[in-house]
Amino acid sequence: MNSSLVGNQSGRPFCLLAISYLETINFCLLEVVIIVFLMVLIISGNIIVIFVFHCAPLLNHHTTSYFIQTMAYADLLVGVSCLVPSLSLLHYPIVLSESLVCQIFGYVVSVLKSVSMASLACISIDRYIAITKPLTYNTLVTPWRLRICILTIWLYSCLVFLPSFHWGKPGYHGDVFQWCANSWDTDPYFTLFIVVMLYAPAAFIVCFTYFNIFRICQQHTKEINERRVRFSSQDGEAGEAQPCPDKRYAMVLFRITSVFYILWLPYIIYFLLESSNVYSNRIASFLTTWLAISNSFCNCVIYSLSNSVFQKGLKRLSGAVCASCARQRVAKDSSTSRSKRSSNGCHV
């Protein structure tokens, strides 16, 4: 098993998962299958999300749609960037040196996932302001401020991982490259820097805001139900429990955030263990990394299954595509029938 992990000794490809190596195939089969499968899911899923947002104007009435679309574009770029390791596993010739490609790829993926993490934190802040200050929400949260916030997220994400080129391996382990696995070490100080500047603040903001959101929603639900019971008892009618109107939309965003941290938790734990020289394993690095990257597809699945407005926009988009295909088929059939009639007329 270890012989296949050492490198290109005896002409074998550099494969982290030894079970992927077959004598008849001169590339890392299992790694390529995993990466290409995730790449197809991520790219297709996020393209659909972006098109639905453009086709459903009602989705853009929510200020969180700015951040959802930002996440969709970042996740789409993650899927496109997955082409780089898949080509390296196929031993496709790379023009640049492997060390430079590894550093650039690790930096780009880390920045894109940082954008997603920061966007989730901003979404939780947006929902917190909407529930705690509903009367002044429209004056506090404006489209111009949202655009500045999104620009700040991208700039901050680019800057926070910039030291990785000289400091050490960033929040992504690009161990599909042999140079990443053997020569690019994780620096404990850089890990602490990333935790302090990104992971810890984002997790704290999400936990604080959603805890207070659900506490406030529970309190509102209790007050609404008490009023309904009071008025229904006066009218002699039984009142039904009504949930907080903001709770359902908050639950959708909470699911997206929860899945994000669940999929990223194994990698964050491994990242901390490796940085502190407690545990290091290339197979664990590969699996935890691509489990975290799979979150780029989970966001669009959760949103499409949980948001009714998004489902309507998806039906509208699919209906428009089907109608376009039907029109093209009808036009093709009519042109074919005309050509047949004209050819018959020539033979008369």
Global pTM reads 0.76
**Which pLDDT band holds residue 9 (cuts at 50, 70, 90)?**
very low
Q: How far apart are CA 98 and CA 145, in angstroms?
A: 41
Confidence at residue 149, expressed as pLDDT on a 0 to 100 scale: 93
Instruction: Give Cβ neighbours of residue 32 (< 8 Å, ≥ 6 apart).
Output: 86, 89, 90
**Span 99-107, mean pLDDT?**
84
Residue bearing the bigger pLDDT, 224 or 295: 295
pLDDT digits 0-9 by tens, 267-283: 888 888 888 888 878 78
pLDDT digits 0-9 by tens, 109-119: 889 989 988 98
By mean pLDDT, which of 28-32, 256-260, 316-320 is the weakest?
Answer: 316-320
Q: Which domains does the chain have, with CATH numbers?
A: 21-228+246-313 (1.20.1070.10)
Q: How far apart are CA 271 and CA 86, in angstroms?
A: 22
Confidence at residue 209, expressed as pLDDT on a 0 to 100 scale: 87
List residues bridging with 22 in a β-sheet: 25
CA distances from 333 to 322, 327, 345 (A): 16, 10, 18
pLDDT digits 0-9 by tens, 319-331: 666 666 666 666 6
What phi and psi values does residue 25 have, to the nearest 5 degrees?
Answer: -120, 125
Give the number of C-alpha atoms closer than 13 A to the C-alpha of residue 59, restricted to the C-beta side. 24
Quick check: helix, strand or coil at residue 25? strand
pLDDT digits 0-9 by tens, 118-174: 988 888 898 888 888 888 888 888 888 988 999 999 999 999 999 888 887 876 555
* CB-based contact 269:284 (threshold 8 Å): no
